[in-house]
Structure 1
Amino acid sequence: MTGVQRGSGSRPALSRCIRVSVGEFAEQYWGREPLLSTAAELATADEFAAAFGDLFSASAVDELIARRGVRTPFIRMAHEGAVLAASAYTASGGFGAEIADQVSSDKVLAEFAGGATIVLQGLHRLWPPIIDFTRALVDDLGHPAQVNAYVTPPSSQGFDAHYDTHDVFVLQIAGEKHWRIHAPVHVDPLRSQPWTDHREAVARAATHEPVIDAVLRPGDALYLPRGWIHSATALGETSVHLTVGMSAYTRADIVQALVAQAGASAALRESLPLGVDLHDAEALAPIVEQTVHALVEHLQTTDASRPAAWLSRRFDADTRAEPLAPLATLDALATLDAATRVRWRGSLRVRITTVGDRVRIIARTKTLSLPLEAEPALRRLTTGDPATVGDLPGLDVDSAIVVARRLVREGFAVPVVRA
Structure 2
Amino acid sequence: MDALPALTRMVGDLAPTFGADYWSTKPYVYESRGDAQRFDDLFSADAVDELVTSRGIRTPFMRMATEGTVLAQKSYTAPGGFGAEVGDQVSSEKVLAEFAGGATIVLQGLHRTWPPLVEFTRRLTDDLGHPAQVNAYITPASSRGFDPHYDVHDVFVLQISGEKQWRIHRPVHVDPLRDQPWSDHRAAVAAEASGAAHIDRVLQPGDVLYLPRGWIHSAEALGGTSVHLTIGIAAYTRADVASTLLEVIGKTPALRGSLPLGIDFSDPAEVQPIVEQVLESLRAALAVPDDRSTAARQVQSVGAALARRLATDVKPEPVSPLATVDAIAALSATSRVRWRGSLRARVEDAGETVRILAGTKVLALPAEAASAVRALAGGAPTAVGALPGLDTDSAIVVVRRLLREGLVVPA
Given the two structures, how large is their TM-score scaled by the length of structure 2?
A: 0.94
| SS of corresponding position for 1:210 | coil
Matching of residue 16 in structure 1 with residue 9 in structure 2: yes
Choose from 32, 53, 71 the match for 1:39.
32
**2:341 aligns to what?**
346
Choose from 392, 399, 403 the match for 1:397.
392
Deviation at 1:249, TM superposition (A): 0.4
Deviation at 1:282, TM superposition (A): 6.1
CA distance in structure 1 between the aligned counterparts of 2:141 and 2:73, rounded to whole angstroms: 23
Matching of residue 201 in structure 1 with residue 188 in structure 2: yes
Deviation at 1:328, TM superposition (A): 1.5
Matching of residue 407 in structure 1 with residue 394 in structure 2: no
CA distance in structure 2 between the aligned counterparts of 1:263 and 1:25, rounded to whole angstroms: 36
Deviation at 1:276, TM superposition (A): 4.7
Q: CA RMSD in A?
A: 1.9
Name the aligned partner's letter for residue 33 of structure 1: K
Name the aligned partner's letter for residue 307 of structure 2: S
Q: More relative contact order in 1 or in 2 (CA 8 Å, sep 6+)?
A: 1
Q: 1:234 to 1:397 in 2, by over 3 A?
A: same
Q: 1:94 to 1:262 in 2, by over 3 A?
A: same
Matching of residue 379 in structure 1 with residue 374 in structure 2: yes
Q: Report matched runs for 1:136-155 at 5 Å.
A: 136-155=123-142
Structure 2 unaligned spans of 5+: 290-294
| SS of corresponding position for 2:29 | strand
| SS of corresponding position for 1:260 | helix
Name the aligned partner's letter for residue 9 of structure 2: R
Deviation at 1:112, TM superposition (A): 0.3
**1:234 aligns to what?**
221
CA distance in structure 1 between the aligned counterparts of 2:50 and 2:86, rounded to whole angstroms: 19
CA distance in structure 2 between the aligned counterparts of 1:254 and 1:223, rounded to whole angstroms: 25
Q: Report matched runs for 1:282-321 at 5 Å.
A: 284-300=271-287, 301=289, 303-321=298-316
Q: 1:381 to 1:274 in 2, by over 3 A?
A: closer
Q: Report matched runs for 1:154-165 at 5 Å.
A: 154-165=141-152
Deviation at 1:359, TM superposition (A): 1.8
CA distance in structure 1 between the aligned counterparts of 2:277 and 2:406, rounded to whole angstroms: 50
**1:52 aligns to what?**
39
Deviation at 1:21, TM superposition (A): 2.5
Deviation at 1:360, TM superposition (A): 2.0
Deviation at 1:293, TM superposition (A): 1.8
Contact preservation (8 Å) 2:157, 2:209:
yes
Q: 1:258 to 1:380 in 2, by over 3 A?
A: same
CA distance in structure 2 between the aligned counterparts of 1:221 and 1:152, rounded to whole angstroms: 17
**1:221 aligns to what?**
208
**1:27 aligns to what?**
20
Q: Report matched runs for 1:263-274 at 5 Å.
A: 263-273=250-260
Name the aligned partner's letter for residue 44 of structure 2: S
Deviations 1:284-305 (Å, cap 9, x if unpaired)?
4444233212111112256212
Deviations 1:21-41 (Å, cap 9, x if unpaired)?
333211121010000001129
Q: 1:84 to 1:290 in 2, by over 3 A?
A: same
| SS of corresponding position for 2:60 | coil
Name the count of aligned residue pairs: 403
CA distance in structure 2 between the aligned counterparts of 1:168 and 1:378, rounded to whole angstroms: 37
Q: 1:294 to 1:365 in 2, by over 3 A?
A: closer
Name the aligned partner's letter for residue 114 of structure 2: W
Name the aligned partner's letter for residue 38 of structure 1: E
Contact preservation (8 Å) 2:308, 2:360:
no
| SS of corresponding position for 2:117 | helix
Name the aligned partner's letter for residue 223 of structure 1: Y
CA distance in structure 1 between the aligned counterparts of 2:401 and 2:48, rounded to whole angstroms: 40
Please say which of residues 228-237 and 345-354 is displaced more in the overlay: 345-354
Please say which of residues 254-263 and 129-138 is displaced more in the overlay: 254-263
Deviation at 1:355, TM superposition (A): 2.8
Q: Report matched runs for 1:237-252 at 5 Å.
A: 237-252=224-239
CA distance in structure 2 between the aligned counterparts of 1:63 and 1:175, rounded to whole angstroms: 18
CA distance in structure 2 between the aligned counterparts of 1:328 and 1:216, rounded to whole angstroms: 42
Choose from 238, 245, 248 the match for 1:261.
248
CA distance in structure 2 between the aligned counterparts of 1:372 and 1:286, rounded to whole angstroms: 52
**1:361 aligns to what?**
356
CA distance in structure 2 between the aligned counterparts of 1:257 and 1:324, rounded to whole angstroms: 31
CA distance in structure 2 between the aligned counterparts of 1:35 and 1:353, rounded to whole angstroms: 41
Question: What's the % identity of the aligned pairs?
Answer: 61
